[in-house]
Amino acid sequence: MSHTRAPLVSSTGSCSGTPASHPALSSSQISPNTTAFSPTPFHPHPPSDSLEDPISLGIRRHQDDDVENSSTQLTPQRIKHLKTYAKKLCKDLSIEEKAVFNFIDTGDLFSMLVDIKATFVKYNASNKASELQALQETLTSKDFEIGLSSRLLACILSPNITAYVTDTQHHIMEFIANHLDIFKIPATVLNDNELRSTLGKIVTRLLADLHSHLKSHLTVSIVKQTCIIEVGKAVACSSPGMEVDASHWARLAFLCCCLHLFLIGVGDHKIAPLSTCFTPRLIPMLKSDMHTKVERNLGINISEIERWAVSADNMDESVTDTLVMGDGSSSAPTGDESGPGADFDWSRLGDNTDDLQGDANSIADAGPNLDADTLSNDGDDLDPSDSGFRLDG
């Protein structure tokens, strides 16, 4: 099979070896109304797997780093204006310019924000430390202790505080936490562990002082047989601004009764003679071992006195216990009265202060302190024969 070769086209528009089939056109032969034709460019279609690519793919963004940071970087002109304003502000506030100028010279807004935050944190820490130091000084001040002591005394004499020694500090601390306005204590004190511990120690020490102070007054009242109202007046004098009423007298009378039993149990006759501490009103509260001690040391028959007191009370209500009420007068029966107690020497229970040595402070210091063991007896109250003072040993 033969192939025919295409004729070559010469530059004159004719094929090599053959005449031109179409003569070339000159520019004068082209009509002016003829529209020029331009070939349509060829755009190849992308493969189907590239359709998922974002439109911006392949587009290069030219961005200068200086332009990017220009929004957060202060210009020299802006820094100059800020320093002018800062100078006037420092003058009005009477502060140094250097620190403010150094802050402006930072030049970068983000760096300046970090600087502000760090300064604020440091200020808060310093301010908190100063506040805690001021509260610490307030708690240890004399004026605060005087005011707190007065309010603690009111708590001790309040019938709402049933515990006199055992758990008293715990109960009062709870009361303080619920009534900060009464004790004039800022809430920050209880929120800080160190300040709360300091307050607890102060309360414990003041309670011990108040217990000793009350014991001193009550011991003198027992020995000298003074009225409980006088004790209330003496207590009120030591706590300016405190008003003593019947509820306080009842509380003092209860504490006085407890102190009677305590002094009988410990048997320290140099502080208060047994004949002074014992009174017929205490008979229902005496355990068997205390019965035996009183009868043996005073040479009396408590059962006989109790029977006589009941019969005499039924006949005449004028029989009173002067040792408990302490009004200074004696209404005890005499030997002229008839009854089971007619032969009893009531003078044994009369006023006997010869053994009282020193003033009220020496009395309180000489005797043992009231403690939880002697008042609560840790469950020994269930034993009718044991008072907890180990009188049988």
Write the pLDDT tens digit of every residue in 77-128: 999 999 999 999 999 999 999 999 999 998 888 989 998 999 899 998 888 8
Q: What's the domain count of the chain?
A: 2
Domain end call among 139, 170, 190: 139
The last residue of a domain, from among 116, 139, 162: 139
Same domain, 117 and 151: no
Residue 55 is encoded by which pair of tokens?
């439109």
Position 231 pLDDT exceeds 80? yes
| In a shared domain, residues 265 and 289 | yes
Judge if 93 and 132 occupy the same domain. Answer: yes
Residue 287 lies in a domain: yes
- Note whether 152 and 203 are within 8 A (CB): yes
Give CA torsion, residues 117, 122, 123, 127, to 10 deg: 140
Pair 134, 146 in one domain? no
Domain extent for 122 = 76-139
Domain boundary among 110, 139, 168: 139
Instruction: Indicate whether 182 and 235 sit together in one domain.
Output: yes
Q: Are 188 and 89 in a shared domain?
A: no
Residues 132, 183, single domain; the answer is no
Summarize pLDDT for 140-194 with one digit per residue, the tens: 999 999 999 999 998 888 877 767 667 888 989 999 999 999 999 988 899 999 9
Whether 352 and 247 map to the same domain: the answer is yes
Do 148 and 134 fall into the same domain?
A: no
Task: Tell me the whole-structure pTM to 2 decimals.
Answer: 0.57
Residues 191 and 337 occupy one common structural domain: yes
Examine residue 99 and state whether it is found in any structural domain, yes or no: yes
Instruction: Note the pLDDT tens digit of each residue in 9-65.
Output: 444 444 444 444 445 555 555 555 555 545 555 555 555 555 555 555 555 555 555
Residue 118's alpha-carbon distances to 59, 123, 124, 312, in angstroms, are 42, 9, 10, 86
**In this predicted structure, what is the pLDDT of residue 335?**
40
For residues 334 and 268, membership in a common domain is answered with yes
Tell me what pLDDT residue 101 has: 92
272 burial level (CB within 10 Å; 0-12, 13-18, 19+): buried
